[in-house]
Structure 1
């Protein structure tokens, strides 16, 4: 006679094997070569009709810890322990602006750049989103590539341009920038126009094994 343990074990073995759902597999960050990531981006014409910056509510305090999105990025990206005054006012730290290779120690010289600018996101598919999804995009702290602290000068030079129109002045930053751009567009299922695609392909040709890593946004 089988023991109770043996019977239970036999019952477990008889159960069908389960696998991880495809949807769960798809949310894992898997590195891709930059060229392969570009190939995944759908091509579509862009339209800025109806765009207003206020369509994207940004710099919110989503987790109610007194630190808004700008402060959260400054705290996360400082290379040293930042000084934070009451009300989550970040006053000192050390930040490396990878667009131009400049180190900054006071946050007043920094902008928090949306890797894919809000206007470009609108052009590329966000115009069809709900207000809640646009807010989530504008305050995306769950992906390191979505928001980046850079010198105000380079951010304002970039404005709302895509890689066909603007690239970081530091040449060594351009492969990383292209990968971050592609990762952000893939994460949020945004499109590229033909000129943008051609520019990204041209950059990727000189980037060797530069990887792209992303997880789809919720």
Structure 2
């Protein structure tokens, strides 16, 4: 019992030290720039969730070594450790951004003959009904346990109803552009634009409300989902080597302070733990 208590105290100490480090990093970056910025349960779908293909800028051990903070010893699986490795850039620009440059729904990454929106609807909705003659692709109806509102939404395909459920890019495409994707080749941008890691079926009105906001500008009204939401944003940014602003990083650290061992979502590149 004494040994277990010591281990628990050590784990809590590491989590607390990491949070302090994040705060100090944020203060340091802000000072430098001042002188001159619950995961939805995968439902029984007709097909398995596509596995994201590896992308050119996806994080590697070398990229982690170049990040703005060293990973703490013994950590490497959770969102807080990955957040510590994200580089800070406080002068993001959306100049030249066009949504079409990410090819959302224009490519079929898993080559299953179905567009990205319907892939995600089948993954995230319950009680899915598909249109006959579409090779189990086009979703006609289903039920969404919306992670952003915490409510249940009945989805029916149609001109006036389809937008009740939208597919959100958790790291907004404009934010991705401003935090590194502007320099990517088209293939890599298409990959991010259709990567299931960065996509969730959510309430249409809340997706519209979020717009291009990052974690410092918008969080889901459903407070119970914020840890998973921020962990997914961190997972996407770490996996693709995207940057964060000081304000964004501070907001992310604030959310993760309440869940210091929140895991990264499946499909993320995991930080490489340092030797303890």
TM-score scaled by structure 2?
0.63
1:1-218 correspondence to structure 2 within 5 Å: 32-45=77-90, 46-62=92-108, 63-87=110-134, 88-107=137-156, 108=162, 109-141=164-196, 143=197, 146-213=198-265, 214-216=267-269
For the residue of structure 2 that corresponds to 1:106, the secondary structure is strand
Paired with 2:118 and 2:128, the residues of 1 have a C-alpha distance of 13
Shift in Å, 1:64: 4.8
Distance in structure 2 (CA, Å) of the matches to 1:105 and 1:83:
15
1:71-113 deviation per Cα after TM superposition (whole angstroms, max 9, x unaligned)? 0101111222433343432111122110111222215110000
For structure 1, which segment, 84-93 or 36-45, has the greater mean C-alpha deviation from structure 2 after superposition?
Answer: 84-93
**Mapped contact 2:80–2:261 kept (Cα < 8 A):** no
- Does the aligned pair in 2 maintain the 1:84–1:92 contact within 8 Å? no
**Once structures 1 and 2 are overlaid, which stretch shifts more, 39-48 or 156-165?**
39-48
Larger Rg: 1
Match of 1:211, SS? coil
Cα distance in 1 between the residues matched to 2:139 and 2:100: 25
- Kept in 1: contact 2:80–2:256 (CA 8 A): yes
Query: 5+ unaligned residues in a row in structure 1: which ranges?
Result: 1-24
CA deviations over 1:164-186 (Å, ceiling 9, x no partner): 00000111111111111101111
Superposition RMSD in Å: 2.2
The answer to whether the Cα contact below 8 Å between 1:31 and 1:211 also exists between their aligned partners in 2 is no
Q: How far did 1:188 drift?
A: 1.0
In structure 2, list runs of 5 or more residues that go unmatched. 1-59, 62-74, 157-161, 271-276
Residues 151-206 of structure 1: per-residue CA shift (max 9 Å, x gap): 10110010000010000011111111111110111111111011101111111112
**Length, aligned pairs only:** 187
Distance 1:208 1:41 in 2: 16
Name the SS of the counterpart of 1:149 in structure 2. strand
Mapped contact 1:82–1:94 kept (Cα < 8 A): no
